[in-house]
Structure formats: structure tokens, C-alpha cells
Amino acid sequence: MPPDLHTQLGPLSLKNPVMVASGTFGYGQEYDQYFDIGRLGAVVTKSLSKAPRAGNKPPRLVETPAGLLNAIGLQNIGVEAYIAEKAPFLRDRNATVVVNIYGYTPEDYAHLARRVEESGTGHAIEANLSCPNVHDARTSRGATMVSQVPETVLEYTRAIREATSLPLYVKLTPNVLDIRESALAAEEAGADGVSLINTLLGMAIDPETRKPRLANIVGGLSGPAIKPVAVKMVWNAAQVLRIPIIGMGGICTAADAVEFLLAGARAIMVGSMTFRQPDAPMRVLAGLEDYMERHGFKEVSELVGAMEV
Ligand SMILES: Cc1cc2nc3c(=O)[nH]c(=O)nc-3n(C[C@H](O)[C@H](O)[C@H](O)COP(=O)(O)O)c2cc1C
């Protein structure tokens, strides 16, 4: 008997724990030529806002020795264009879809969640409370990222929770002293899970020109460089949360994915690696099944939090 790859993210059952990370998979179409996207545990859309956004000025991407610095600034087509133009393709491919949303106020997020639910274009919502690249955003407490302040995580998550009955995952920033505080705030406000982690703040300077390599100066670091930080944060959060964790940050191989599950994640996302190897999520999935067979695991849940100390 092959292992059972199903995993449960609160009310949502996924056929397997391999998802793709928001902003690294567009709206799915670009990857159709590489593999059947309906085989993923779930597709996660690029963050969608109420109105389309052009994002930041280029250059917006810089390679670093073990990762990627980005300052895209939430370029996206807006929720209405997603509903009209992109969602039909995802439905056609029979994909499980988590719609990632981004707004400036709790009301924006509530509106976006409501539109996704009304239009039937998503199986779940992921609320991005952690974009490092948007300067026009400031919470009432002065932070640029909502999830740097547990009180605003409570406020925003509550507003989204009231607006939708879809499963709700809150994506948190690692740019905090203690991830448990924002994670617990999301749980208290009714989130069905948390997504950990978004990018770590970083920057790079060209010594020849003495100019910053990103037009935005500062960006978010992703890729293998951040994996140990992400695994630790998943483990920290898993010690205190009852709701499930979706882990990500530098996952390139099945062994990386297993690390996150052992640390306490119930599902994982492959992000930057898909730029290097577009079918990486399928390779991770095949490798995970192989790992489970080799080690005698029959269900994904047996792996979750099973680090031996
Ligand atoms: C180019 C790029 C764009 C991203 N855009 C978004 C986004 O729109 N919304 C979001 O929640 N996260 C976004 N992220 C963060 C990823 O979803 C993920 O949390 C992070 O990159 C860590 O995973 P990785 O190391 O596997 O890439 C983006 C990351 C990259 C590299």
C-alpha cells in the first residue's frame, strides 16, 4: 500500500501537503506546461488586492549566494480580474486553490475575502499580513507589516474571520522577536492556520557603483539561506499552537519538506525553487512519498512534529 498523503489544514483536506508559495507561481497558468497543477496539494495565488497594482520600480530581484532578494511590491491584476480571467483556468484544472489577499485596512481584507467566497473562486484564503515591500502601508501602530504587531494581527484576522466562512490561513512575517506572539494572536482571532514564513528583510549594495542593487533599497530574502530560520520558527510556533502550520522558506527537495513536517508543519510550500526548477513541487511530492515508504510512515500526520530529541 502506498502511503496516504492527505493532510488536514483545519476544515480543508488536501490530497497531499505540497503547495506552492504565493508570488512564485503567478496564477498557475505559466506552470501548466511543466506539470498537472491539479496534482498539487493546493495552488496559492499571487497576493491579490482590490485594485490592480504595478508594484515597485525595477530592479526588483537580486540573486544572493543562497537565495533571492525581491522587492516586487505586490504587483497584481486585482481581485476582479482574477475572478474573471484567472479563476476559470484553475477550476478547469481541478486545482485546490488558496487565494492570497492583501489590503491596507481590515475592511480591505474583509472585502477581498467576501469577493472570493461569493464568486466561488477559492477553497481557502491566505491573508498576507507580512509583505515587506509596500511603503504606502502603515498600521495604526506604525509598523509597515501588520503581523509585526500582535494586536493588529488580532484586529485584521477578526475582520476577515467575520467576513468569510472559508478556511483562513494567516501568513506571518519572520521579522519579529518572537513568532509565537503573532501566531497566537492569529489563532485567538479565529484563523484556521498560519503560514510561516514570509521573507526576511535584507539588502545588497553594488560596491562598484555604490548604489543599492534594488531600486527599493530593501527587499525580502527567500530561498535556501532562510531555511534554518524558517524551520526554527515553525518549531517555535508548533509548541504553542493548536491550529495547523503551513511551513515554507527555502524548500528545494523532499528532504527539506520533511524537515518542516518534523518541526511541526502539516503542509509545506515550495517558493523560490520553482524559478530554478519549475517542476520542483512535483519532485518534492514524489520524494516525500518515497521517504514515507522507506521509513514506514503510512500517513503524513505521523510525521508532523515527529522530530526526535
Ligand atoms: C518573487 C517573490 C514574490 C513573492 N510574492 C509574495 C506575495 O505576493 N505574497 C506573499 O504572501 N508572499 C510572497 N512571497 C513570499 C513567498 O510566498 C514565501 O513566503 C517566501 O519566498 C519563502 O519561501 P521560499 O524560500 O521557498 O521562496 C514572494 C516571494 C518571492 C521570492
Identify any residues that bridge with 13 across adjacent strands, giving them in sequence order.
Answer: 8
Q: Give me the number of domains the chain comprises.
A: 1
Q: Is 48 helix (H, G, I), strand (E, B) or coil?
A: strand
Assigned domain for 211 exists: no
Residue 247 beta carbon below 6 angstroms from any ligand 1 atom: no
pTM value is 0.97
Joined grid coordinates for residue 256: 527539506
The pLDDT tens digits of the residues spanning 178-212 come to 999 999 999 999 999 999 999 999 999 999 999 99
Which ligand 1 atom is the nearest neighbour of the CA of 67? 25
- Closest C-alpha residue for ligand 1 atom 21: 222
Assigned domain for 207 exists: no
Is the separation of the CB atoms in 203 and 214 below 8 Å? yes
- Mean pLDDT, residues 138-166: 87
Assigned domain for 308 exists: no
Assigned domain for 44 exists: yes
Q: Average pLDDT, whole number, for the chain?
A: 96
Residues with Cβ within 8 Å of residue 12, at least 6 apart in sequence: 96, 123, 124, 167, 192
Assigned domain for 23 exists: yes
- Closest C-alpha residue for ligand 1 atom 22: 249
Domain range holding 30?
7-55+73-199+223-302
Q: Is 168 helix (H, G, I), strand (E, B) or coil?
A: strand
Which ligand 1 atom is the nearest neighbour of the CA of 21? 17
What CATH number is attached to the domain comprising 192? Answer: 3.20.20.70
Residue 304 to residue 307: CA distance in whole angstroms:
8
Residue 140 to residue 245: CA distance in whole angstroms:
27
Among 200, 218, 186, residue whose Cα is nearest residue 272: 200
Out of 125, 134, 199, 253, give the residue to mutate to test ligand 1, the one with the largest number of ligand atoms within 8 Å of its CB: 199
Residue 161 beta carbon below 6 angstroms from any ligand 1 atom: no
The helix or strand, by DSSP H or E, that contains position 19, with its residue range, turns out to be strand 18-20
Question: What amino acid is encoded at 121 in this protein?
Answer: T
Q: What stretches of the chain show up as alpha helix (H) in DSSP?
A: 79-81, 87-92, 106-119, 150-163, 179-188, 227-240, 254-263, 273-276, 280-295
Out of 272, 273, 283, 284, give the residue to mutate to test ligand 1, the one with the largest number of ligand atoms within 8 Å of its CB: 272
Catalytic positions are 131
Assigned domain for 170 exists: yes
Q: Say what the pLDDT of residue 132 is.
A: 75
Q: What are phi and psi of 261, to 5 degrees?
A: -65, -45
Among 73, 117, 111, residue whose Cα is nearest residue 98: 117
- Closest C-alpha residue for ligand 1 atom 29: 23
Assigned domain for 217 exists: no
Residue 231 to residue 249: CA distance in whole angstroms:
8
Give residue for cell 515527529: 306
Question: What amino acid is encoded at 151 in this protein?
Answer: E
- Closest C-alpha residue for ligand 1 atom 14: 23
Which ligand 1 atom is the nearest neighbour of the CA of 251? 26
Assigned domain for 298 exists: yes
The pLDDT tens digits of the residues spanning 219-261 come to 999 999 999 999 999 999 999 999 999 999 999 999 999 999 9
The pLDDT tens digits of the residues spanning 90-144 come to 999 999 999 999 999 999 999 999 999 999 999 999 999 998 767 655 555 556 7
Is the separation of the CB atoms in 4 and 293 below 8 Å? no
Is the separation of the CB atoms in 33 and 85 below 8 Å? no
